[in-house]
Amino acid sequence: MPEQLLKFDELELDLGSYQLRRNGSVLKLEKIPMELLIFLVARKNQLVSREEIIEKLWGNNVFVDSEHGVNTAIRKIRHAIGDDPDQPKFIETVVGKGYRFIAPVTVLPAHSVTDQKIIPVISPAAKSQVRTRSLLIGACVFSVLFATFYFGLRRLWPPTPAGRTMLAVLPFQNLSGDPDQDYFSDGMTEEMITELGRLDPQRLGVIARTSAMIYRHSNKGVVEIGRELGANYILEGSARREGGRVRITAQLIQVRDQSHLWAAEYDRELRSVLEVQTQVASAIGSEVRLKLTPAQRVRLVRTRSVDPEAYEAYLKGRHFMEKWTEEETRIGREYFEQAIQKDPNYALPYAGLADSYVWGRAGLPPEEAFRRARTAATKALELDDTLGEPHAALAQIKFTNDWDWAGAEAEFKRAIELNPNDTNALHMYSHYLLSMGRVEESYAITKRALQHDPLSPAMQLHLGFQYLTARQYDDAIQQYLKLLQIDPGYPDAHNQLAVAYRKKGMFDQSVAEYLQVETLLGLVPEQTAPLKAAYAKSGMRGFWLKVLEFTEPSEQSDISPYQIASYYSILDKKNESFKWLNKAFDSHDALLVAVKTDSDFDNLHSDPRFADLLRRMNLPRD
């Protein structure tokens, strides 16, 4: 078996030489994806569970973020072999279970393998990888939209100002004994965070899901968790779903003396689960002595029963959406649509759909994704005008797609008013303010978001980006270095650190970081060697000329015109930069919203053509 050659379609999997080839050309595939492909092919036509994959690739006694690790490996395999997850030819996803290799496999004798020609350095495939990634861009504006998983813990901000209490909802325990029910307990956690966050935002802040979920399997005590999160109170809970009923327990703990202030157990029909959530929120409000307004009290009692199957489908949709990959976003979207079919008057699945098209990896052209998002968000608000999330989705559409600056700000403000703990809305409102040139206001919003989500890698990255945009390069460098101490494999942090080093004139360090980004994203030394050689021979100018050579800018290029404009601006080729900025304008490139404050275009500000671009975009001028 180790020496076999396995053939499927135009592909050959050579177990002897440990190579994957298409029509004789070697395809690059890292060790983990290669091992997984071999495992799936060996079990062709059989369902291979995620648990089996984790045990096979990492073993039982090694900690791994299984969702991220398995999903990443599958994605890399599909990219290498050209498989479509929606219409799979090779690897079929069995939702909630695992994967199945479905293509016919032929076993050939090892001696039939001929010597293969190695792909030339910087092959067309390598150029395509460079061309299709949003990297090596001066100000990587929206890379922070898709947060990578985070394994470290770090406090960024001191306790919140006196008079405002902070509460953390720890992940509800799944007491069903079935790991497939994790979506339910996770969903309860997220729903409680949202419900509590809307109680009295001026006096009670709630830690966001990203930071809270880090403690899912933690053995840390209440005092340590409270200190790390800056929380005064901790809510612990559990959920057990059996048939059409659900049993929920919850207890509120005061951090400073670890005293248990309140505890309750609820045994209800699943259709009454929303009522349980509001009862828990009301009880906690009383314990922390919140003074609710009449409107807030009315909202607490204004709950509706929900179809149990619709509720479960919605929770599953959110569960998959939180993985932030294109495949899981697609699966999450399917569950939201199932929920809508079960209960067309249930607003939350429409809000989830809108989120999947705006914030997730939609897998659609931007215009179509935004069109669908707008429709879903509008419907969600028709059904429930107290939801903040659809307003945040509409704000992002008006910001990056419509260039409706006043409309976008109004939607961001309304989203935050309705859900003041929505760090996603706070995060993107901060980006909006940066794009408008309102840097100090943006910093205040960033600080507020960090109080709610102190352990979020995306928010820590955004703090560095805040410094970068403010031209505070020393602060930016320190922030990125601190983040990379905790997560050395965070490509976006390396990329933005490269920008900060470049702005400081620290070119050796900058190029090293750019090359590290490429390595983390899968390029081998032979593929990055030309970039390194260009820098060694001709400095930064040679490096960026080589980058342009890789991107092959043309009318048919699939790389963002804004990116190409930034490359030319870095090289001080102003005419070419304006040419591509105009193309970005004509194509309504979403990245163009950052042009006013992107430091890579500072050299263009004195040119009348820059003022004209801002005028055509209706961007306010200082």
Confidence at 108, pLDDT banded by 50, 70, 90: low
Express as a percent the part of the chain with pLDDT over 70: 82
447-472: average pLDDT: 92
pLDDT on residue 334: 92
pLDDT on residue 391: 95
pLDDT on residue 127: 34
Confidence at 55, pLDDT banded by 50, 70, 90: confident
pLDDT on residue 44: 86
Contact 161, 153 (CB under 8 A): no
pLDDT on residue 305: 67
Better-scored residue on pLDDT, 499 or 60: 499
pLDDT on residue 288: 64
Q: Is the pLDDT of residue 88 over 50?
A: yes
pLDDT on residue 474: 96
526-534: average pLDDT: 91
Q: Is the pLDDT of residue 251 over 90?
A: no
Q: Is the pLDDT of residue 151 over 90?
A: no
Q: For residue 267, what are the β-bridge partners? A: 247
Q: How far apart are the first and last CA of the chain?
A: 69
Non-local (6+) Cβ contacts of 282 within 8 A are: 300
pLDDT on residue 395: 96
Q: Lowest mean pLDDT: which of 302-311, 502-511, 559-568?
A: 302-311
Contact 407, 441 (CB under 8 A): no
Q: Is the pLDDT of residue 9 over 90?
A: no
Positive or negative, the CA dihedral 295, 300, 306, 312 is: positive
CA distance 491 to 432: 23
CA distance 85 to 398: 30
Q: What would you report as the CA-atom Rg of the chain, rounded to the nearest whole angstrom?
A: 26
Question: Using N-to-C axis directions, what is the helix angle for 66-81 and 326-342, rounded to 10°?
Answer: 110
pLDDT on residue 327: 80
Q: What pTM, to 2 d.p., does this model score?
A: 0.69
Query: For 476-490, b where at least 16 C-beta lie within 10 A, e where not — what string?
Result: bbebbeebbebbeeb
Q: Is the pLDDT of residue 495 over 90?
A: yes
pLDDT on residue 374: 95
Give the CATH number of domain 306-381.
Answer: 1.25.40
Q: Lowest mean pLDDT: which of 50-54, 229-233, 442-446, 451-455?
A: 50-54
CA distance 493 to 139: 12
Other Cβ atoms within 10 Å of 352 Cβ, number: 27
Confidence at 457, pLDDT banded by 50, 70, 90: confident
Q: Is the pLDDT of residue 111 over 50?
A: no
Residue 585 has φ and ψ, to the nearest 5°, of -65, -45
Better-scored residue on pLDDT, 315 or 570: 570
pLDDT on residue 146: 26
DSSP letter at 213 equals G
CA distance 481 to 460: 11
Would you say domain 165-303 falls under CATH 3.90.1150.10? no
What are the start-end ranges of the H helices in 322-362?
326-342, 347-358
Ranges 7-21, 241-255, 486-500, most confident: 486-500
334-352: average pLDDT: 93
Better-scored residue on pLDDT, 279 or 253: 253
Confidence at 311, pLDDT banded by 50, 70, 90: confident
Better-scored residue on pLDDT, 274 or 194: 194
Query: For 162-176, b where at least 16 C-beta lie within 10 A, e where not — what string?
Result: eeebbbbbbbbbbbb
Non-local (6+) Cβ contacts of 161 within 8 A are: none
pLDDT on residue 157: 35
Q: Is the pLDDT of residue 620 over 90?
A: no
Task: Output the average pLDDT for the chain.
Answer: 81
pLDDT on residue 289: 60
CA distance 564 to 558: 11
Q: Is the pLDDT of residue 149 over 80?
A: no
Q: Is the pLDDT of residue 277 over 80?
A: no
Q: Where are the domains of the chain?
A: 5-119, 165-303, 306-381
CA distance 50 to 481: 34
Ranges 129-138, 245-254, 503-512, most confident: 503-512
Q: Lowest mean pLDDT: which of 2-6, 147-151, 252-256?
A: 147-151
pLDDT on residue 141: 35
Q: For residue 173, what are the β-bridge partners? A: 238
Confidence at 477, pLDDT banded by 50, 70, 90: very high
CA distance 20 to 81: 9
What residue type is assigned to position 498 of the chain?
Answer: A
Residue 582 has φ and ψ, to the nearest 5°, of -65, -35
Confidence at 436, pLDDT banded by 50, 70, 90: very high
Express as a percent the part of the chain with pLDDT over 90: 37
Tokens of 486: 């905790």
pLDDT on residue 455: 84
Please choose, from the candidates 451, 392, 446, 423, the residue with its C-alpha nearest in 3D space to the C-alpha of residue 194.
423
Q: Is the pLDDT of residue 113 over 60?
A: no
Per CATH, the architecture of 5-119 is what?
A: Orthogonal Bundle (1.10)
Better-scored residue on pLDDT, 66 or 507: 507
Confidence at 330, pLDDT banded by 50, 70, 90: confident
CA distance 312 to 187: 9
pLDDT on residue 554: 60
Q: Is the pLDDT of residue 602 over 60?
A: yes
pLDDT on residue 324: 65
